[in-house]
Amino acid sequence: MAGPNTPRRNGDGPGTSVITRTKPQTKRPSLYRVLLLNDDYTPMEFVVHVLQRFFNKTTDEANRIMLHVHHHGVGECGVFTYEVAETKVTQVMDFARKHQHPLQCVMEKK
pLDDT in tens, 21-76: 888 888 999 999 999 999 999 999 999 999 999 999 999 999 999 999 999 999 99
For each of the domains in the chain, give its residue range(s) and CATH number, in order of start.
40-109 (3.30.1390.10)
pLDDT of residue 67: 98
Q: Which letter does DSSP use for residue 27 in this model? A: -
Q: How far apart are CA 73 and CA 67, in angstroms?
A: 9
Residue 9 has pLDDT above 60, yes or no: no
Q: Look up residue 99 and give its amino acid.
A: H
3-state secondary structure of 77: strand
